[in-house]
């Protein structure tokens, strides 16, 4: 079987909590950032939200991206790592329920704890993530399926893997396999903390022959070390053949061949930004691998991302995705 998208990334079960600014501060969580935590810190944070009803879903940045692409009708493969526990079983079944092929069905998971991410969402819709990597911290080259990589249209690397030496090595090995087979290469800058603390790993993922780069405006500013948008566009445009720079309610910019195309966002009331960037990448890559222009792909990606931020949770229902896809088809057939 061939795939529209082959991705490698972290397998995390997201547990989302709606909290106040005061609760976030009391828990000592850095707002809008992803922070890696250990078992003791996770136990401490759970005490702060013990009276908040959580919402649990499959997560992981690239995991969200492959599910989005699959929901729109694309074929995806996801390389990741879970443990032999209840969360690992939940995660594997979640991928399969969305039609995503995975290495998890080919090997018995190791003993341990599956990774999880506590997502605290404040009333201003910002998400602050505390991630316990667990088993995914040790993802390595054994998670790769080279024979499936070479049959993919796009090979996608989750930027968060820059924090894991073995994960980074696996992503880069997969990158080399994909490049040799003529598979298009894509990655995301993921988070400001990755840029600040794991820059060499991200640099290796980007390399000199990247086809698609995804980032938001704040990440772009940190990556480039400047705030002037025109200068950022000029600098980012040299990093990949196509760059998608998302700007929240302002939509996104598509940078390619020295040209900047502005694509507007759908007007919605944002209540939770968790998963928006992942959804954007999945929808964009779906449209791009199905014969649409990059401007059309960005329009679809903006529509899908806007639906995510207008609800709580990092995933959309299949019904909602069907509606978005139908609207996309109508517009492009006019």
Q: Per-residue DSSP letters for 122-178?
A: -TTS-EEEEEE-GGGGG--GGG--HHHHTTEEEEEE-GGGGG-HHHHHHHHHHHHHH
Domains and CATH numbers, the chain: 3-332 (3.40.1190.20)
Q: Residue 274's pLDDT is what?
A: 82
Q: Per-residue DSSP letters for 128-140?
A: EEEEE-GGGGG--
Whole-angstrom Cα distance, residue 214 to residue 187?
6
Whole-angstrom Cα distance, residue 172 to residue 205?
6
What DSSP character marks residue 237?
T
Q: Residue 330's pLDDT is what?
A: 86
Question: What is the dihedral angle through the alpha carbons of 275, 207, 136, 15, rounded to the nearest 10 degrees?
Answer: -10
Q: Residue 73's pLDDT is what?
A: 97
Give backbone dihedrals phi and psi of 256, rounded to 5 degrees, phi first: -160, 140
Q: Residue 167's pLDDT is what?
A: 97
Instruction: Name the token pair of 14.
Output: 């997201």
Instruction: Spell out the residues 6+ positions from residue 72 whose beta carbon is closer than 8 angstroms to its own.
Output: 282, 283, 286, 304, 321, 324, 325
The DSSP element (H or E) to which 5 belongs, if any, is strand 3-8
The DSSP element (H or E) to which 326 belongs, if any, is helix 318-332
* Reported pTM: 0.93
User: Residues 19-23: contacts with CB within 8 Å, 24+ apart?
Assistant: 19/49, 19/52, 19/120, 19/121, 19/122, 20/122, 20/123, 21/122, 21/123, 23/48, 23/49, 23/52, 23/120
Residue ranges of the chain whose pLDDT lies below 70: 334
CA 2 to chain centre: 22
Q: Residue 265's pLDDT is what?
A: 92
How do residues 201-228 score in pLDDT, each as one tens digit?
999 999 999 999 999 999 999 999 999 9
Q: Residue 1's pLDDT is what?
A: 80
How do residues 88-125 score in pLDDT, each as one tens digit?
999 999 999 999 999 999 989 999 999 999 999 999 99
State the Cα angle at 110 between 109 and 113, rounded to 5°. 100
Q: Per-residue DSSP letters for 281-311?
A: HHHHHHHHTTT--HHHHHHHHHHHHHHHHTS
Q: Residue 138's pLDDT is what?
A: 96
Q: Residue 312's pLDDT is what?
A: 84
The DSSP element (H or E) to which 91 belongs, if any, is helix 86-97
Instruction: Name the token pair of 139.
Output: 């993802």
SS3 199: helix
Q: Residue 33's pLDDT is what?
A: 87
Sheet holding 127-132, edge to edge: 34-36, 127-132, 115-121, 12-18, 55-58
Closest among 81, 71, 87 to 8, alpha carbons compared: 81
Whole-angstrom Cα distance, residue 214 to residue 29?
26
């Amino acid at each position: 079987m061939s795939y529209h998208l082959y991705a490698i990334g972290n397998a995390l079960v997201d547990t989302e909590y709606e909290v106040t600014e005061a609760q976030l501060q009391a828990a000592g969580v850095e707002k809008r950032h992803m922070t890696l935590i250990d078992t003791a810190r996770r136990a401490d944070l759970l005490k702060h939200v013990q009276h908040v009803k959580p919402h649990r879903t499959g997560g992981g940045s690239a995991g969200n991206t492959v599910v989005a692409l699959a929901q729109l009708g694309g074929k995806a493969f996801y390389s990741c790592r879970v443990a032999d526990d209840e969360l690992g079983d939940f995660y594997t079944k979640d991928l399969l329920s969305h039609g995503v092929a995975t290495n998890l069905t080919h090997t018995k998971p190791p003993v341990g704890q599956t990774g999880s991410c506590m997502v605290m969402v404040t009333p201003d819709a910002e998400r602050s993530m505390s991630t316990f990597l667990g088993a995914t911290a040790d993802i390595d080259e054994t998670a790769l399926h080279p024979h499936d990589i070479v049959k993919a249209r796009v090979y996608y690397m989750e930027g968060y893997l820059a924090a894991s030496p073995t994960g980074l090595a696996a992503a880069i090995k997969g990158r080399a396999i994909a490049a040799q087979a003529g598979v298009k290469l894509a990655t995301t800058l993921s988070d400001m903390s990755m840029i600040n603390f794991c820059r060499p790993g991200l640099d290796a993922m980007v390399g000199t022959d990247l086809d698609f780069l995804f980032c938001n405006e704040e990440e772009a500013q940190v990556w480039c070390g400047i705030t002037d948008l025109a200068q950022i566009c000029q600098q980012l445009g040299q990093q990949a053949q196509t760059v998608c720079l998302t700007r929240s309610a302002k939509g996104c910019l598509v940078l390619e061949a020295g040209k900047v195309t502005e694509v507007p966002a759908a007007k919605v009331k944002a209540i939770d930004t968790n998963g928006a960037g992942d959804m954007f990448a999945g929808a964009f890559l779906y449209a791009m691998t199905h014969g649409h222009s990059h401007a059309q792909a960005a329009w679809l990606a903006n529509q899908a991302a806007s639906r995510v931020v207008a609800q709580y949770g990092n995933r959309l229902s299949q019904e909602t995705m069907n509606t978005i896809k139908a609207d996309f088809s109508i517009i492009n057939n006019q």
